[in-house]
Amino acid sequence: MQGKLVSLEDALTGCERILRDEFKDVPESALYMIGKIDEAKAKQTETADSHEA
């Protein structure tokens, strides 16, 4: 799996949001090697959809 490059501002924003517990219900695997933090929720939705099928 290959990671994505994000700007410093996006990285810091993502860290702040994680530390504020906005993603406490998101599994750690959804946060691994993503780009912007908003991709974590999309990845979580994709994972949930694949488990329902």
Q: What is the pLDDT of residues 1-53, one digit of tens each?
A: 687 899 999 999 999 999 999 999 888 888 888 889 988 877 766 766 666 65
- Residue 27 vs residues 3, 7, 20, 51: alpha-carbon distances, Å: 17, 23, 15, 14
Contact 40, 26 (CB under 8 A): yes
Residue given tokens 């750690």 in the structure block: 28
pTM of the entire structure?
A: 0.68
Please report the pLDDT score of residue 4 as a whole number: 85
Report the distance separating Cα 3 and Cα 18, nearest Å: 18
